[in-house]
Structure 1
Amino acid sequence: MVLRREAFLDRVKERGEYESDQEAERAARVVLALLGAHLVGGVRAELAARLPEAFALILLNPLQSAEPLSPERFVRATAAWIEGATETTAAWDVSAVLSTAADAAGDHLTRRILLQLPAGYDLLFGRPQPT
């Protein structure tokens, strides 16, 4: 099931405790653009198919990443792309967006996404994995 744009943004806005839809949208655009650079093949396409069209296109046309970023560097990169963000606020942004994306993806696809990412992303997705 594809989340409607408004429903997706409402969840991001609630989880990120943003005051405006614009703040939630900015976070979603940056985080999904960075995430798209880390996912390949069918996993990226399947996640895109479950996101609202505008966000699916961002995921499918990602910012370029020379190497997979650790969770810490992913947060730092997010902070660099969001004006006025700190690493603390960027961690909040990343978690709000990725946990909403994980809800849209469902457990099976989220597990497959996490297999493509460096260790530690499970916490950013709000899906801690047993070690």
Structure 2
Amino acid sequence: MTLRWEAFLEAVRGRGKYDTAVEAERAARVVLALLGAHLVGQIRAQLAARLPEHLALILLNPLQATEPLAPERFVRATAAWIEGASETTALWDIGAVLSTVADAAGEDLLRRILFQLPPGYDILFGRPQDHTP
């Protein structure tokens, strides 16, 4: 099921405690552009199908990444792309957006997304996994 634009932004806005929808949209655009650079093939297409069309296009036409970013570098990259952001505020933005993405994706797709990403992204999506042997 695809989330409507308003519902997605309202979820991000509520989770990020943003004053305006513009702030929520800015965070969503940056985080999804960076995430899209790290997902490939059917996984990216399946996730895009569950997002509002406007955000799906951002995910499908991502910023170019030369290598997968570790979660810490993903946070730094997000901070660099959001004017006035620090790593702390970028982490907040990422959590608001990716937890909403995780809800839209559902558990099965999210598991496959996390499999494509470097270890540690589960926490960014707000879904810490048990890594004990």
* Deviation digits for residues 49-85 of structure 1 (CA, Å, limit 9, x no counterpart): 0000000000000001110000000000000000000
Counterpart residue number, 2:18? 18
Aligned length: 131
Between the aligned partners of 1:47 and 1:95, the Cα distance in structure 2 is 17
**Is 2:43 the counterpart of 1:34?**
no
**Is 2:92 the counterpart of 1:82?**
no
Deviation, 1:105, is: 0.3
Between the aligned partners of 1:10 and 1:84, the Cα distance in structure 2 is 22
Instruction: Provide the TM-score with structure 1 as the length reference.
Output: 0.99
Deviation, 1:107, is: 0.2
Map residues 97-112 of structure 1 onto 2, 5 A cutoff. 97-112=97-112
Root mean square deviation, CA, Å: 0.3
Q: Which runs of 5+ in 1 are unaligned?
A: none
Counterpart residue number, 2:9? 9
Map residues 25-64 of structure 1 onto 2, 5 A cutoff. 25-64=25-64
Counterpart residue number, 1:122? 122
Between the aligned partners of 1:66 and 1:95, the Cα distance in structure 2 is 24
- Look up the equivalent residue of 1:4 and give its one-letter code: R
Deviation, 1:2, is: 0.5
Instruction: Provide the TM-score with structure 2 as the length reference.
Output: 0.98
Between the aligned partners of 1:127 and 1:6, the Cα distance in structure 2 is 24
Between the aligned partners of 2:70 and 2:97, the Cα distance in structure 1 is 17
Between the aligned partners of 1:82 and 1:94, the Cα distance in structure 2 is 11
Q: Which runs of 5+ in 2 are unaligned?
A: none
